[in-house]
Amino acid sequence: VGLLSTLYTAIGGAKAVIWTDAIQAFVLFGGMIVLLFLVVGKIDGSWTTFFQDGARAGKFDMFRTDGLLAERNLFSACAFGFFVYLGAHVASYGTYQRFVSVPSVKDVRQSMYIKGVFTLFSCTLYFLVGTALFVFYQQSQVEVFNELSSGKAKDQLMPHFVVHHAGLVGLTGAILAGLFAASMSSMDTGINSMTASIVTDWFEGRELGMRFNRVLTFGLGIFATGVACLLSMIDTPVFDLLLSLIGATLGLLTAVFLLGMLVPRANTAGAIAAVVVGLSVFAVIRLWIPSLEGEELRRVGVFAGLKNNSWWDAMFTTVPAFTAGVLASYLRPAPPEERTRGLLLFRRRDWLNP
């Protein structure tokens, strides 16, 4: 999957990525819809049992507020949804590539509306599939569920169902195609974005040619594929690791982006301060706190809950980083107005510019 994604990305560039992503999105959604009805159909009691057992297990408790930082509740879900999707829409290079590929700002807005609808639909669909798998295994194969609910085995529950319970060969292939589509669409966007970022930021003004771009794309693709293979050997579930990496990377990018868009005095010192503080906070919540046990863990109080809840990572990286960037920027004189004209969301005489 990784090598194939690298191949068509290197040959076709951004156009190939956008068109294949569009096709892969429909393949993915189609596969998930088929999987949902297939799993529910294998539950004894079908949809009635699905909703009853799911509700009994608390899967539909959207507004649960107990647990503070330790639990995945309403507050952590809002923090995750707001900061992760804010970063994905305003600080992701892959998103920007799509913005600049359309002819007008109006088209950008329309694409964002469409993406919002599809995101709501897809997240709801993934939730329903996950709940259906939970009910199915709790009903018929509790031992298998318990075995696949710890450590890195969490990533194997859906493939286990597809391989052992999907039934028809063609149906299994269709569902696997949907899973492969999700992997390929994520990888090709990342590879193409990294290539474009390196070429425009590190080699600005140089005529490198198509050959260099393709070689760089192949190199990044092979590297990403190798990293994916290594991840299969660790005990941490891939999704939990992904949330932490988003907090460490996309959270910092979001903070720096907001700093430049909102703060007239934003400067290099502010951006550096934002990155340093953001990484420091991330190191505390994801490296230091998880290393604590017993009495040492209790001493950090409510923040001990962050040990096993990565939904807060993006917020606890973005907010301190942005705050530090603002404070550091205001230690330096404001740049000339002509340097910030057209780059700020608000006019210079508005907020954050006394």
Residue 130 has pLDDT above 70, yes or no: yes
Q: Residue 326: its pLDDT value, please?
A: 92
Query: Tokens at residue 207, please?
Result: 């005529």
| Contact (CB, 8 A) for 88 and 324 | no
Q: Residue 324: its pLDDT value, please?
A: 95
Query: How confident is the model over 157-177, as pLDDT tens digits?
Result: 787 888 788 776 676 777 777
Cβ-count burial 202-219 (b if 16+ within 10 Å, e if not)? eeeeeeeeeeebbebbbe
Is the pTM higher than 0.85? The answer reads no
Residue 150 has pLDDT above 70, yes or no: no
Q: Residue 152: its pLDDT value, please?
A: 58
CA distance 268 to 260: 10
| Contact (CB, 8 A) for 263 and 350 | no
| Contact (CB, 8 A) for 323 and 287 | no
What is the torsion angle, in degrees rounded to the nearest 10, for the CA atoms of residue 214, residue 220, residue 224 and residue 225? 40
Give 350's DSSP letter.
S
Nearest residue to 304 (alpha-carbon basis) of 316, 318, 320, 290: 290
Average pLDDT of the residues in 143-162: 71
Angle at 143 (CA atoms; ends 137, 145), nearest 5 degrees = 40
Nearest residue to 130 (alpha-carbon basis) of 148, 153, 157, 151: 157
| Contact (CB, 8 A) for 317 and 247 | yes
Query: Tokens at residue 59, please?
Result: 């899967």
